[in-house]
Every structure is written in structure tokens, then in C-alpha cells.
Amino acid sequence: MGKIIGVLTSGGDTPGSNAAIRALGKAAISNYGMQLIGFRDGFRGLMENHLVSLDNKMLSGILTLGGTILGTSREKPFSMNVNGKEKDMTNVIVENYHKNGLDALVCIGGNGTQKNAWHLAQQGLNIITLPKTIDNDVAGTDMTFGFDTAMGIATEAIDRLHSTASSHHRIIIVEIMGHKAGWLALGAGVAGGADVILIPEIPYHIEKIAESILERKAQGKSFSIIAIAEGAISQDFNIMYSELKEKIGKSKDEKTRKKLKQEREELDVLNTSNTIRLANRLQELTHLEARITILGHLQRGGVPSAADRLLATRLGTACAKFIQKEEFGVMIALKKNKILAVPLADVVGKTKKVPPGHQWIKSARRVGTCFGD
Ligand code: F6P
């Protein structure tokens, strides 16, 4: 008898998710005679036993579809909304895993999903994960699928913003997703030729940005495009974050830690309007008009790029092979163009940030891009 495999997608929907489900399913069914069960809406589906049998027919025609045919949610096994209250539903999930006779569960998602999957692995379940997120911030893999598609969409947006910025002699600030990492803004910013790129890894000084815009103006270029990552922070905010981090590290009692963590969350909320503050301040400093474009969920929508379909197919088919070999507690990753399994313990709790000396940053600086530092 072939193994019975469960699969779910969790966290923000990502182009390439269906390509990964298809690849896993087709390889598992045809190469190893396995059976595939899909759980709806992430870990919630496993808790509610809301499932669908994924046979060859179901897996057909989904390679090019955006989103996820299984649905998704950000629900955590240990903190689920049950009748309006947050409850630890780990036991119910473990029970349903066994009730369905699962030999393994494949969790497809970003950093949150890796953490939730690891939690279930620690309960003794056979867990294997695939890294999917447009943010490309999962540790242990060179690339996550979804990133290439989102980078393409953001690059096209920058291309289109060029003509309107140039016609009106304006500053256009385009806010790009990426959570606390700058991969998307950096990649799209370099590919789209943004004049200024602001990422969380390099806190910015508004005055330095204004200086570079005025320098461009002096050279006869009366418009500028700024690609800003949603998590980018100014130097002032960086100081406040660092001080809070230090205080949290030093605080001994739980009550103070809780209060400080709350303060950090409040700072996060305040930072969500940094693009607006940046636009207002740049208008004052440069006397140029500034406009903002927030790309938001556009970046997660639509058809996956060829590169994402390819990566998702490589990861999904390899996943079936690792299940057959019974290698669990791992994430299937891309490293130096090879697909391999990395221990989940090495992935969880980390965020893959852009290293300050990264090649993309170096190349951008060489063509005169300002990073606000
Ligand atoms: O993790 C993917 C992502 O799109 C981030 O870039 C962004 O910060 C977040 O999800 C938005 O989440 P939601 O769709 O839940 O608002």
C-alpha cells in the first residue's frame, strides 16, 4: 500500500503554490503510488477535518493558476480562533492526522508556516515543508517560490511609473511588500532602475535622499522614482527599535517584557505610515511634488512566472522523493541550484535578510542608486 500524504497551504497566498501542489501530487501518485489529501485553508482545515482528495483529475490544469486551490489562512495550531476565542488546538490536529491515516503532512508556506510545522513535528508527526513566500525571507533556501513573480509585477509597476513621474517632474514613491526584509524592493528597484531604494536592512536619512534627488535635478533630471520596502525604517526609528530591543533583552520580569514588546508593536504600527511621512518631508526639502503608489496585494495576484513554476515543480517533485525515503522534520530547499532537505530546526525562528554587502546592492550603488545611508 502506498503512503497517504496530507498537504496544506498556509500564510499569504503566493503564485506557484498550485504548481507545487501539482508537482508533489503527480510525482507522489505516479512514481510511488501514494494517495494525496488536501486540507482547506491551512492548519484550520486540519483542525476541522475539512479535506479534499487530490487525484490526478484535481491536479490537472492548475500549473498556471495563481492563488491556491486549497485556500489558505494565517491560523496557528497552538492559537486558533474557536468561537471568537484563541485556543490551542494542537491535540485535535494531531488526532485528525492519525484519524486520516496520514504517513506525512506537507506544509507549504513562509516563516510562520515553518514555525507551525515545526511545532507539529515536535508532537511526533511526520512533517515536511516547502518554502513559499513573495518575501524570499525564509532561511535555509536561496529562493522561495512566489518571489520571482512578485518581483516581476513590482518591476513592471516601476517601469510604468517612470513615464508619469517624468512627464510631471515628480517624485514617485512606490511601496513594495516584503515584510521585514528588503528582497522584493531591492530586486524590483534594481531591475526597474529606481533612483532610490529603501530597505529595512539599511535605515535611511531623509536628508540624504533629498540631497540625491536635488543632485539629479541639478543634472537636468527633474523626476525621481523611490522604491521603498514596506518594512523600511528611518535612522530615527532604527534608534528607537534598537533601544527597545536592548531593554527587552535586559528586562528580567515578564510584566516589563510584555509592556516593552507592546511598545515595539506600537512602533511597528507607527512605521506603517513612514511612506507618507517620507513623501511629505521630501516635498518640503526638494520643493518637488511627491506621489505615493502602494502596490499591496497586486504583487501576490495572478499567474506565476516561468521561474516560479519551475522552482515549485522542482521542490514539489523532490518532496515526494524525500517522503518515500521517510526523511521528515525537513524543509525542501534550493541551494546553489541543487534541491536538498534542510533540518526544520535550522530554519525556524530566523528571517533571511539582505546582507549589506549583497551583489545586488553593490551593483545598484555602482549605477548611482541612493540607499539613503
Ligand atoms: O508574507 C507575504 C506578505 O505579502 C508580506 O509581504 C506582507 O507583509 C504580508 O504578507 C501581508 O499579509 P496579509 O495579506 O495578511 O495582509
Per-residue pLDDT, averaged over 263-279, amounts to: 92
Distance CA(105)–CA(126), nearest Å, equals 6
**Model pLDDT for residues 325-355, shown as the tens digit of each residue:** 999 999 999 999 999 999 999 999 999 999 9
**Model pLDDT for residues 15-25, shown as the tens digit of each residue:** 999 999 999 99
Per-residue pLDDT, averaged over 139-149, amounts to: 98
Distance CA(320)–CA(326), nearest Å, equals 10
Summarize the chain as % helix, strand, coil (round to 5): 45, 20, 35
Which ligand 1 atom minimizes the distance to the CA of 74? 15
Which ligand 1 atom minimizes the distance to the CA of 11? 1
Which ligand 1 atom minimizes the distance to the CA of 110? 1
Residue nearest to atom 14 of ligand 1 (CA): 12
CB 118 within 8 A of CB 156: no
State if residue 203 touches ligand 1 by the CB under 6 angstroms criterion: no
- 254's CB contacts (< 8 A; 6+ apart) are none
Q: What pLDDT, on the 0 to 100 scale, is given for residue 1?
A: 78
CB 308 within 8 A of CB 146: yes
Residue nearest to atom 8 of ligand 1 (CA): 179
Q: What pLDDT, on the 0 to 100 scale, is given for residue 11?
A: 98
| Substitution site in 144, 177, 186, 275 for ligand 1 pocket (most atoms within 8 Å of beta carbon) | 177
**How does 224-238 read in b/e, with b if 16+ C-beta sit within 10 Å?**
bbbbbbbbbbbeebe
Per-residue pLDDT, averaged over 200-223, amounts to: 97
Task: Domain 4-145+304-335: give its CATH code.
Answer: 3.40.50.450
User: In DSSP terms, which residues pair with 55 in a beta bridge?
Assistant: none
- Of 13, 135, 137, 148, which is the active-site residue? 135
State if residue 12 touches ligand 1 by the CB under 6 angstroms criterion: yes
Per-residue pLDDT, averaged over 305-324, amounts to: 98
List the one residue out of 240, 239, 258 whose CA is nearest residue 248.
258
What's the CATH fold of domain 150-300+356-366? Rossmann fold (3.40.50)
CB 76 within 8 A of CB 43: yes
Residue nearest to atom 13 of ligand 1 (CA): 12
Distance CA(88)–CA(80), nearest Å, equals 6
Which ligand 1 atom minimizes the distance to the CA of 231? 8
State if residue 178 touches ligand 1 by the CB under 6 angstroms criterion: yes
| DSSP 3-state of 128 | strand
Distance CA(256)–CA(248), nearest Å, equals 8
List the one residue out of 92, 104, 218, 229 whose CA is nearest residue 173.
229
**Model pLDDT for residues 85-108, shown as the tens digit of each residue:** 999 999 999 999 999 999 999 999
Q: What pLDDT, on the 0 to 100 scale, is given for residue 55?
A: 96
Residue nearest to atom 12 of ligand 1 (CA): 12
With the C-alpha atoms ordered 348, 350, 354, 359, is the resulting torsion angle positive or negative? negative
Cα-to-centroid distance, 4 and ligand 1 (Å): 31
Residue type for 317, please? T
Which ligand 1 atom minimizes the distance to the CA of 179? 8
Q: What percent of the chain has pLDDT over 70?
A: 100
Distance CA(30)–CA(320), nearest Å, equals 10
Give, in order, the Cα–Cα distances in Å from 334 to each of 104, 122, 237, 316: 21, 24, 34, 12
- What is the H or E stretch that residue 8 is in? strand 4-9
Q: With 0-12 CB in 10 A as exposed, 13-18 as middle and 19+ as buried, what is 178?
A: buried
137 part of the active site: no
Domain boundaries, the chain: 4-145+304-335, 150-300+356-366
Please tell me what DSSP assigns to residue 299: G
State if residue 134 touches ligand 1 by the CB under 6 angstroms criterion: yes
Distance CA(106)–CA(12), nearest Å, equals 17
Residue nearest to atom 7 of ligand 1 (CA): 179
State if residue 300 touches ligand 1 by the CB under 6 angstroms criterion: yes
Per-residue pLDDT, averaged over 271-284, amounts to: 94
Q: What pLDDT, on the 0 to 100 scale, is given for residue 38?
A: 98
| DSSP 3-state of 90 | helix
State if residue 110 touches ligand 1 by the CB under 6 angstroms criterion: yes
Domain 4-145+304-335 and domain 150-300+356-366 have a common topology: yes
Q: What pLDDT, on the 0 to 100 scale, is given for residue 209?
A: 98
**How does 147-161 read in b/e, with b if 16+ C-beta sit within 10 Å?**
bbbbbbbbbebbeeb
CA angle 103, 109, 114 (to 5 degrees): 70
Per-residue pLDDT, averaged over 292-318, amounts to: 97
Q: With 0-12 CB in 10 A as exposed, 13-18 as middle and 19+ as buried, what is 36?
A: buried
**Model pLDDT for residues 26-82, shown as the tens digit of each residue:** 999 999 999 999 999 999 999 999 999 999 999 999 999 999 999 999 999 999 999
Place 310 in a pLDDT band, splitting at 50, 70 and 90. Answer: very high
Cα-to-centroid distance, 134 and ligand 1 (Å): 9
Cα-to-centroid distance, 271 and ligand 1 (Å): 15
- What is the residue-averaged pLDDT of the chain? 97
State if residue 135 touches ligand 1 by the CB under 6 angstroms criterion: yes
